Amino acid sequence: MGAGSWGTAFGVMCVDAGEPTTLWARREEIATEICEQHTNGAYLPETRLPDALEATVDPERALDGADVVVLAVPSVGIEAQLAAWGPAIPRDATLVSLIKGVDVETLRFGSQLVSESLDCDPARVVVVSGPNLASECAQRLPAATVAAGSVEARTERVQRAVMAPYFRVYTNPDQTGVEVGGAVKNVIALAAGMAHGLGFGDNTMAAVITRGLAEMVRLGAALGGQALTFSGLAGVGDLVATCTSPKSRNRTVGDRLGRGERLDEVVASMNMVAEGVKSSRAILGLAERAGVEMPITQGVVAVCHAGHHPSELVDGLLQRSAKPELYGL
């Protein structure tokens, strides 16, 4: 449900895993292009989609008979979409959240937005998250991910549904840890992009990634995630991919801010969503509520939402008081 970059790439992998798959697209022209030309030029311009991948703007047709419903719209749009789709979602279907964002008003992660919008058992929700840049997955370059949920039969069903020959899926019961990893890495990638845009070096990048991981672990542990999850694909794996790849939207936004562009202009120039921009405020809100320090996140919020210059983020981090490395991580 969602024919943006990740929804479409995910659909490609489901077809390649042998699943009959129908994409729901918001725009008629995108559904028609997918069905007739087997491309989605607005989101994945370099990819020829499989002939078997169907698309429609009719949610009832897309959802008809589905035992796995994959939700691929950003956090900002998911509640309104679910309100419209709810009655058409088959009873007991497994609901897959691909969302790597946190709602700014309610501080809820994607899985909570899904189960509470549908007023359904949270155990029906499986979160899929990992180092998965959509364009690479759609080009069938080898990659791996995590399917996280509390019911093994559901995580294993999702594992089978998307385990294409080039895409390896691991299951993990730690949905909280996996979801914290996917949301926090976007915020740290904004900072990593800023460091790159400001002209800093590889040492800077390594420091941002490593201290960003410390923030992820701190918040994740406070919210009930397992420490080991953050050394997995949905933690450090996704953090590395997103912070270092020019294909990442979040890193690209940070890079352009570091080069002196204004946030509103950068966001307006993109046809895709960089979740970290809005989620940074929500993640800082969660950190404050849990009493954990997230200085990189705090700096990203100051740049994105209080008009600070990216160089102030760097100065602020370097001027923090001296500490032992693993003090509170």
Ligand X SMILES: O=P(O)(O)OC[C@H](O)CO
Candidate residues 74, 110, 131, 225; the one interacting with ligand X per rule CB under 6 A:
131
- Measured over the CA atoms of residue 314, residue 319, residue 324 and residue 326, the dihedral's sign is negative
206: Cα separation from own chain's centroid: 21
Sites of contact with ligand NAD (CB under 6 A): 2-7, 26, 43, 72-77, 81, 98-101, 132-134, 272-273, 275
Candidate residues 47, 75, 97, 248; the one interacting with ligand X per rule CB under 6 A:
248
Q: Report the 10 Å Cβ neighbour count for 61.
A: 13
Q: Is there binding between residue 278 and ligand X (CB under 6 A)? A: no
Is the Cβ of residue 85 or residue 230 nearer to ligand X in the bound state?
Answer: 230
Least distance to ligand NAD from the beta carbon of 152, Å?
23
Active site residue 185: yes
Residues 6 or more apart from 13 whose CB is under 8 A from it?
137, 162, 164, 167
Of 145, 121, 133, 222, nearest to 177 (Cα)?
222
Question: Could you give the C-alpha distances from 239 to 78, 106, 129, 206, 282, in angstroms and in order?
Answer: 24, 25, 11, 11, 18
Is the Cβ of residue 5 or residue 47 nearer to ligand NAD in the bound state?
Answer: 5
Joined tokens for residue 243: 């912070």
Candidate residues 187, 189, 236, 292; the one interacting with ligand X per rule CB under 6 A:
189
Q: Which residues are annotated as a binding site for sn-glycerol 3-phosphate?
A: 100, 130, 185, 238, 248-250
Is the Cβ of residue 59 or residue 316 nearer to ligand NAD in the bound state?
Answer: 59
Stretch that binds ligand X, among 20-28, 127-135, 225-233, 309-317 (CB under 6 A): 127-135
Q: Which of 185, 247, 278, 323 is catalytic?
A: 185
Of 258, 247, 132, nearest to 193 (Cα)?
258
Least distance to ligand X from the beta carbon of 276, Å?
7
242 binds, among ligand X, ligand NAD, none (CB under 5 to 8 A by kind): ligand X
Interface of this chain with ligand X, residues 99 to 118, rule: CB under 6 A? 100
Question: Could you give the C-alpha distances from 306 to 292, 301, 302, in angstroms and in order?
Answer: 21, 7, 5
Give the catalytic positions in this structure.
185
Interacting residues with ligand X (CB under 6 A): 100, 131-133, 186, 189, 238, 241-242, 248-250, 274
